Amino acid sequence: MVDILDQDAHVLAGLIRDKELSAEELMRATLARIEAVNSSVNAIISLRDAEACLADARAADAMENKGPLHGLPVAIKDLANAAGLPTSFGSPLFADFIAPKDDLMVARMKAAGAIVIGKTNTPEFGLGSHTFNPVHGATRNPYDLNRSAGGSSGGAAVALATGMMPIADGSDMMGSLRNPGAWNNVYGLRPTYGLVPSDMPGDAFLHQLAVAGPMGRCPQDVAMLLDVQAGLHSDDPHSYVQAPSAPQLAGDIKGMRIGWLGDWGGAYPMEEGVLDTCEGALSHFEALSAKVEKLPAPFPTEKIWEAWVGLRAWANAGGKAAFYNDPAQRGLLKEDAIWEIETGMALTAMDVHRLSVIRSQWYAKLIALFGEYDALLLPSAQVWPFPVEWKSPETIAGQAMDTYHRWMEIVIPVSLVGVPCVNIPAGFSAAGLPMGMQLFGPRMSDAKLLRIAQRWHEATEFKDRKPDLAALSR
């Protein structure tokens, strides 16, 4: 008998719509799974009272269907506001903050019928692809509780992998939808910049690095949530209208050309087994009649890194300088946040201009590549999930990491220029740890990437290898 929580989110939504499953039944099963598993992995935080969640589910059963997420329980990443729930950002500065209203993305999910029951854990201010913070502690990988879940959407990815959530929201500046997707054997889409609009206060024009987006156990679920999150909004000058993605997932990928960038010609150090695992998975594309071609390094990685470090630090300084300038608050900031702020504050206007020129040069080269290839591929991480006690890896293959985030350098060719990218599962290490690959394409190709990912999902066996829930429930 199939456990109801093993069903994909779009299937559950259809069962609720057709009155074959009640939202209350789904909520009871969800709360029971959280009760059994969450104490082992620490993925869901700020959980609402069970009776209040069940009351909302009964109300959903009594009303007309509100939309594609009707009756589905969700937990919101703790970098976004959900009215009445804490938004800690994983920081002691906000440990007691209760959100007075929903962020735009959360409001759209609720309007589509989702029932918000809590939050998912994240690193402090989302900095670093390892989910731990002094407010809620560390989130553990369900495939090995001694390992990192990735981040910053680590709580969301673990909630999906363990069946505690059918879908999840996340956000991504430096791999935060892709790295935890890879390390938890699920899908995470970093959308085209602007597709999922934001109404966050602050600058709306300069800092085009971070995005919000969907996660799911299959691309069809990712597309369903993306269509709820996406769309024009007057508060975001970069937002735009795009045809819904979910109806575009049908069709084969026969004849598509996909470029494999591997370790970028040896520029990215890789832990043993990562590259072999990803390259071993590429044959699935051949089985789908798509052609994979190995490509040489297309652009100097040191230039991409230089632009990324400066522009990311500049964005962090712009958003967090007020905390730094208050001595009492500065004492509560983690070391990595202070480093980002100080690095960003040291930049001149002409420094920023020079870095943005590098970004523009890389974008021009990338667009030329997309003139030849339907999509490109890179590993989603350079290392396997590492011990949960670590802050970050200090070396990879004998090469020292000179910053707290250098170990995730492989994600920034995508992040720097705002193109869409979906993590697709790629297999497991000898120790049973998951890995994934970044499938990325030109701006506004989100639906095409999800179509490729859906064919991949159907053709591969990775989805069948799930965490041992019995072990997590002990």
Q: Alpha-carbon distance 448 to 355, whole Å?
A: 30
Helix (H, G, I), strand (E, B) or coil at 445: coil
User: Distances from the Cα of 133 to the Cαs of 66, 92, 219, 385, in angstroms?
Assistant: 36, 9, 30, 17
Please give the C-alpha separations between residue 63 and each of 11, 55, 73, 211, in angstroms, as whole numbers.
Answer: 20, 13, 16, 33
Q: Would the CA dihedral through 34, 38, 42, 46 be positive or negative? A: positive
Within 10 A of 405 (CB to CB), how many other CB atoms are there?
23
| Known active-site residue 429 | no
What's the half-sphere exposure (Cβ side, CA atoms, 13 Å) at 350? Answer: 0
Q: Annotated catalytic, 365?
A: no
55 touches 130 (CB < 8 A): no
What region, left, alpha or beta, does residue 392 occupy, with left being phi > 0 and alpha being psi -120 to 50 degrees? beta
Helices 219-229/104-111 angle, 10° precision: 110
Beta bridge partners of 400: 395
CA angle 374, 251, 377 (to 5 degrees): 30
Residue from 91, 176, 198, 429 carrying the catalytic annotation: 176
Check whether the bond before 153 is cis (ω within 30° of 0): no
- The catalytic residue among 77, 110, 119, 320 is 77
In sign, the C-alpha dihedral spanning 438, 444, 450, 455 is negative
Cα atoms found within 13 Å of the Cα of residue 108, Cβ hemisphere only: 22
Tokens of 293: 């071609």
Q: Which of 152, 239, 415, 429 does the annotation list as catalytic? A: 152
The answer to whether 388 and 281 are in contact (CB under 8 A) is no
Active site residue ranges: 77, 152, 176
